[in-house]
Amino acid sequence: MSDFSINNFFSLDGKVALVTGGSRGLGLHAATAFLLAGAKTVFISARKAASEQGIDQAVTRLNKLPGIKGKAIGIPANVAQVEDIERLVAEIKRHESRLDILVANAGATWGGPFEPTPDWSSQKVLDLNVRGVFNLARLFTPMLSSSGSKQDPSRIIIVSSTAGSNVPHVGEHGTIMYSASKAAAHHLARNLAVELGPRNITTNTVAPGFFPSKLANGLIEHLGGQDQLERDNPRGRLGEPQDIAGVMLFLCSRAGNYVNGEDIAIDGGVRLAAGRLTKL
């Protein structure tokens, strides 16, 4: 008989997490999952605090989740800027001495035809999706490392995209630099897995397909709308909040202790389906 228990396999009891871009969309889904799974403190960060989709309204909603033992705390920060990340580290230390989970989720995209691409758009995408993620990992490593152990490592989850491994959109609404930035995020995670594994931190990537959100909704419309994309997907639907929640809980709980340097697509399988309508 194997001698282990699966009681509380997916529990995050007592854990402290930071989710960047936690005010809406996928980041808010992850923060919700962490609190429902028993996390003690979930920090959410984004640039805007008081706006309609800012941090404050998200913190209020998170703290009203039924049955939670922990709490959400919002800290505004632009994680494309290293000084703001340094301030975020200092502010988190004022509340908590440990950090068990870092979700580098905040991301930016830009779409348009190839040749007229304004250079600022490439800079914005790379600064947040690559440089920002690298700096987040780098500057939070001391806290994560001192919170992790051999049997229960701290976790870094980078929210990438299936666009990091396929070529999703070229032409009029092309997202070439976004796609390249997400490919870089995947490889950054593999490097961090090897660099930080010995320091009791695992690093993995989750790669969503389409989930309705402020970031994705424009592109969903350009591609024919939600109904069309649902018909194109092997599972017949787009992503829903619990789809992100389930994978996040797996990777951040005891269930995912030994997974390091992996990339998990959450897209219903549509990344594999290119060309299936080709007439032979």
Instruction: List residues binding ligand NAP (CB under 6 A).
Output: 20-21, 23-27, 46-48, 54, 78-80, 105-108, 128, 159, 161, 208, 210-211, 213-216
Contact partners, residue 92, CB within 8 Å, separation at least 6: 18, 43, 75, 99, 143
Beta carbon of residue 30, minimum distance to ligand NAP (angstroms, whole number): 9
What is the chain's alpha carbon radius of gyration, rounded to the nearest angstrom?
19
Nearer residue to ligand NAP within complex by CB, 9 or 134: 134
Beta carbon of residue 183, minimum distance to ligand NAP (angstroms, whole number): 12
The enclosing H or E element of 137 equals helix 133-147
Residue type, 242: Q
Question: Which DSSP letter does residue 272 get?
Answer: G
**Dist CA 12 CA 4 (whole Å):** 18
Tokens linked to 60: 């209020």
Contact partners, residue 150, CB within 8 Å, separation at least 6: 200
Contact partners, residue 60, CB within 8 Å, separation at least 6: none
Beta carbon of residue 97, minimum distance to ligand NAP (angstroms, whole number): 24
Nearer residue to ligand NAP within complex by CB, 23 or 32: 23
Beta carbon of residue 6, minimum distance to ligand NAP (angstroms, whole number): 30
Nearer residue to ligand NAP within complex by CB, 47 or 199: 47
Beta carbon of residue 230, minimum distance to ligand NAP (angstroms, whole number): 13
Nearer residue to ligand NAP within complex by CB, 148 or 210: 210
Mapped onto helix, strand or coil, the DSSP state of residue 246 is helix
Contact status, residue 268 vs residue 239, Cβ threshold 8 Å: yes
Nearer residue to ligand NAP within complex by CB, 29 or 254: 29
Beta carbon of residue 13, minimum distance to ligand NAP (angstroms, whole number): 26
One of 178, 182, 238, 244 is an active-site residue; which one? 178
Say how many residues make up the chain: 280
Nearer residue to ligand NAP within complex by CB, 159 or 189: 159
User: Catalytic: 178?
Assistant: yes
Residue 263, sorted as left (phi over 0), alpha (psi -120 to 50) or beta, turns out to be beta
Return the exposure string of 210-238: e unless at least 16 CB atoms fall within 10 Å of the residue's CB, then b.
bbebebbeebbeeeeeeeebeebbeeeeb
**Dist CA 157 CA 159 (whole Å):** 6
Catalytic residues: 178
